[in-house]
Structure 1
Amino acid sequence: MPLTADADIRELLESARTIAMVGASDRPDRPSFGVMQTLQAHGYRVIPVNPQITGEHVNGEFVFRELSQLGDPIDIVDIFRNSAAAGEAVDQAIAAGAGAVWMQLGVVNDAAAARAEAAGLKVVMDRCPAIELRRLSIAPVGKPD
């Protein structure tokens, strides 16, 4: 069952340090670009993943083709893909050993969420971490409240 309680979402965001963003865009007019900036400003390391722009940089970070290339532990995989494509991103997150998958606003894939939960990952669906940070008044990563 995806996380919905404020306390659970708060715990996930406060414990995370590294977020991989699947579907990150290099276009400033795209929501993923702004969300990435907000998360970075909040102290997270955000690693963009997008096969369309692999090898480029977004907001100062190298863009990877897929999650398996990262090599670093991933606390949250933030998915900026449509609901149908989210399943593939979730499967990659499971294979990469991520701690959680976060499906953005409008992204709902119950089958993928069930696979993630069965593999031991926390799941958030149809929410935006940037919005939740503000709504829950979560202090920037690594800084006291």
Structure 2
Amino acid sequence: MTYSFQNPSDGVIKAYLKNSQTIAVVGLSDRTETTSYRVSKEMQARGYRIIPVNPRAAGQQILGETVYARLQDIPFAVDIVDIYRRSEFLPDVARDFIETDAKIFWAQLGLQSQEAEDILRQAGREDIVMNRCIKQEHSRLVLGEN
């Protein structure tokens, strides 16, 4: 399947990362060996507040923060929604996302969906990053590491 989606420029992605403080992580696992846990823990160490979103762990704590069942349940503003769910679930996450005031829809490395992009754009949501690792992009663009 081909996608017409294009990520924003490095400059825009860098601005997203520099101007954001709160990252809701959809699909954050409490299992320390998972990529979602390792990346979120590192982003937390870099100064971001990580908000776990995982219906199976709702009400529990991951990385010292309360887990919410859905994006819509988070009672405060979120800058980035970072998604660790298979590509076929991205349209559902996009539908949840547009019901919030979250600013940036970010699908992790290996994840993208034309349908999710279409849902977001039809709702007037233009700040979309897909198939990029938030930690790698932060290292490269904000910290200046290769």
TM-score, normalised with respect to structure 1: 0.90
- Between the aligned partners of 1:137 and 1:18, the Cα distance in structure 2 is 16
Q: Structure 1 pair 110/100, CA: closer, same or farther in 2 (3 Å)?
A: same
Greater alpha carbon shift after TM alignment, 107-116 vs 125-134? 107-116
Residue 123, structure 1, aligned to residue 125, structure 2 = no
- Between the aligned partners of 1:11 and 1:119, the Cα distance in structure 2 is 22
Structure 2 unmatched runs, 5+? none
- Between the aligned partners of 2:113 and 2:142, the Cα distance in structure 1 is 28
- For 1:137, the equivalent position in structure 2 comes to 142
Pick one of 67, 82, 88 that aligns with 1:84. 88
Pick one of 66, 70, 73 that aligns with 1:69. 73
Letter in 2 for 1:32: S
Pick one of 22, 31, 56 that aligns with 1:27. 31
Identity between Structure 1 and Structure 2 (%): 37
Pick one of 49, 52, 77 that aligns with 2:53. 49
Residue 107, structure 1, aligned to residue 111, structure 2 = yes
Pick one of 47, 58, 62 that aligns with 1:58. 62
**Residue 117 of structure 1 contacts residue 123 of structure 1 at CA under 8 Å; is this kept in 2?**
no
Alignment RMSD? 1.4
Number of residue pairs aligned between Structure 1 and Structure 2: 139
**Residue 2 of structure 1 contacts residue 113 of structure 1 at CA under 8 Å; is this kept in 2?**
no
- Between the aligned partners of 2:143 and 2:114, the Cα distance in structure 1 is 27
Task: Indicate the SS of the match to 2:142.
Answer: coil
Structure 1 unmatched runs, 5+? 140-145
Show structure 1 runs of 4+ deviating over 4 A.
Answer: none
- Between the aligned partners of 2:12 and 2:67, the Cα distance in structure 1 is 30
Report deviation, 1:117.
Answer: 2.7
Task: Indicate the SS of the match to 1:13.
Answer: helix
Task: Indicate the SS of the match to 1:96.
Answer: coil
Letter in 2 for 1:75: D
